[in-house]
Amino acid sequence: MAKRRGAGEGSVYWIESRQLWAAAVDLGTVDGKRVRKIVKAKLKKDVLAKMRELQGTVDQGLPVPDRSVSTGDWLRWWLENVLPGEVKEATVTNYTDVTDAYLIPYVGRVALARLGPEHVTAMMRSLERSGHKPRTVALARTVLRRSLADAVRWGKLGRNAAALTRPPRKTAVRLDDALDAEAASKVLAAAKGDRLQALAELVLAVGLRQGEARNLRWSDVDLTAGALTVREAKTEAGRRSIALPDYMVAVLRAHKARQAKERMTAAYWDDPGWVFASTVGTRLDRRNVLRWWHNLTISAGVGRRRFHASRSTSATLMLNNGVPLEVVSATLGHAGYAITADIYAKVRPSLQRQAADVMQRVLGDR
């Protein structure tokens, strides 16, 4: 039986059967009914502290935290019920991958109401120690911050713990692992006969981002006109049409024919629309693509290269062989020429030499 203890302490009482102190805090009226929340602790001082914290929350008009909901529970519900319709399908997929790979393992078990900046900071430091790049760490923080912002907006939380942390320092875009023409040829030679040979050929030819390549459907490819359309892109500028080299059209035709045979002999094929599919016709998994690419570059003898190195390779090869900056920018899907120029200006020594040679002919050979 519960016995009240402590004159003047209001609704603080001792529960004999459970050997616990308890306190009831009045949360006001909801739908005409008086609502109270009970907090418990083994020590009286602890239950008083919990009561004061809860009373302060109510006095400030903040939502009362529900400690039964974990951060992982909220993230999964948010991904399934809030994010779709607000962003593109590709973004939902990307955010889901980030959540599964980085957020759930590190903060998923933490009660949503207890999630603090210290948990988010610890997650970022752990990702950094695991070798993840600042951009990856920043993306994990961004997804968490966005989901918590909705939790605050909907009254599930009183603060956004991720927004209270500092993002990782930005680093310069890496170009040192871009391939020259000889190295790129070695990678393509290593890919010959691989079921995803066409993927290696395509990303090196036109600089598609990994997500753009994985989201490509046959309805986006016009082999007769020799062009493809990127519909699922990172930015608005990324939605673009790209002319294909003649050899790339031939590669894609051969890939389509091989894929049709593979689909006919498979016991199950999920979706015939993907240009690059798994062995059961599903969209390629991001991590599997990275693993495949790393194995490919290592077997080619050029070392482990980022997948994004294929994009840098395509851009630098085009620029160094005289393709105008604005054409390269449009092919890559950059928002403006300045982005392309800022990123790749330092890797165009041959173009600078071409300019010097032109001026030598025009003015120097007098």
Q: What string of H, E and C letters represents the secondary structure of 223-288? A: CCCCEEEECCCCCCCCCEEEECCHHHHHHHHHHHHHHHHHHHHCCCCCCCCECCECCCCCECCHHH
- What whole-number percentage of the chain has pLDDT above 90? 45
Task: Count up the domains in the chain and report the number.
Answer: 3
Query: What are residue 207's phi and psi, to 5 degrees?
Result: 70, 35
pLDDT of residue 50: 74
pLDDT level of residue 204 (50, 70, 90 thresholds): very high
* Cα 295 to Cα 307: distance, rounded to the nearest angstrom: 11
77 and 18 within one domain: no
Structure tokens at 310: 């294929």
Structure tokens at 33: 């009914």
pLDDT of residue 359: 60
By residue range, what is the domain housing residue 136?
71-164
Whose structure tokens read 């519960």? Answer: 2
Using DSSP's 3-state secondary structure scheme, residue 146 falls into: helix
Query: What are residue 13's phi and psi, to 5 degrees?
Result: -150, 165
327 and 233 within one domain: yes
What is the total residue count of the chain?
366
Strand order in the sheet with 227-230: 221-222, 227-230, 240-243
304 and 259 within one domain: yes
For the whole prediction, is pTM greater than 0.85? Answer: no
pLDDT of 326 higher than 60: yes
Q: Which helix (H) or strand (E) holds 60?
A: none
CATH number for the domain harbouring residue 319? 1.10.443.10
Average pLDDT of 197-220? 94
In a domain, 64, yes or no: no
29 and 94 within one domain: no
pLDDT of residue 63: 47
225 and 254 within one domain: yes
Question: Do residues 244 and 205 lie in contact, with contact meaning Cβ atoms separated by under 8 Å?
Answer: yes
Question: Do residues 344 and 311 lie in contact, with contact meaning Cβ atoms separated by under 8 Å?
Answer: no
